[in-house]
Amino acid sequence: MVILALCSRPRAGGASLSVKKTALTAVIWAVCTIPAAAAALSARTNPLAALGREHLSSSGRRTIDLEPDKWTGGVIPILSYIEPAEARKRLSEGRWTVLFFQHDCRECQHEIQTLAGRGGRDVVCVEIPPYGEESCVPDNLIHVKLTDRYDWYIETPKLLPAARLK
């Protein structure tokens, strides 16, 4: 808008740019700024965008492809999607090693047992839906679940080093 205003202001002697030049400037401005503004607004109005790519599955459910390689600043942005809600307060403080797992994954079970054998302090195991009927996580590890309001995809097991949950 500033560029458009500067380009279309009256010149000395009262003459202004032609209507074509003003229209061209407006089009160039719109082409350059509207996509950037839309992307910024999308990130603010869709908090799922911070987690990864979102799309509709073949069943019509919202699916989030988690992209932990894109999470920056030592923050894992999943806290508001963790259940039970009571666990969120505890997990919002400190740094946590996070293991994403599925209940029926043998490699996940092995990773869980390895972490439990090391003491498991500051480890949180995040189960991806569909959930198992019984917990496969030992008592010395924290077991939470991602909400089943969405379909989630992440290659499991996925172990993330100590970070803050947000």
Number of domains in the chain: 2
What is this structure's pTM?
0.72
Residues 127, 101 share a domain: yes
Percent share of the chain, pLDDT over 70: 72
Residues 74, 14 share a domain: no
pLDDT, residue 45, reads 54
Q: What is the pLDDT of residues 55-81, one digit of tens each?
A: 998 888 999 999 999 998 899 999 999
Residues 25, 94 share a domain: no
pLDDT, residue 42, reads 44
For tokens 């599955």, what's the residue? 57
Q: What is the pLDDT of residues 100-153, one digit of tens each?
A: 999 999 999 999 999 999 987 899 999 999 999 999 999 999 999 999 999 999
Q: Which range of residues forms the domain containing residue 54?
A: 50-165
Residues 65, 34 share a domain: no
- CB 25 within 8 Å of CB 31: no
Residues 139, 117 share a domain: yes
Residues 81, 105 share a domain: yes
- Which stretch of DSSP H or E encloses residue 165? strand 158-165
Measured distance CA(19)–CA(42) in Å, rounded: 34
Q: What is the pLDDT of residues 7-57, one digit of tens each?
A: 555 555 554 556 566 666 666 766 666 655 544 444 445 778 899 999 998
Q: Classify residue 69 by its DSSP letter.
A: G
pLDDT, residue 49, reads 87
Residues 160, 81 share a domain: yes
Residues 126, 88 share a domain: yes
Residues 56, 40 share a domain: no
What is the DSSP track for 74-128? TEETTGGGEESTHHHHHHTSS-EEEEEE-TT-HHHHHHHHHHHHTT-TTEEEEEP
Residues 89, 36 share a domain: no
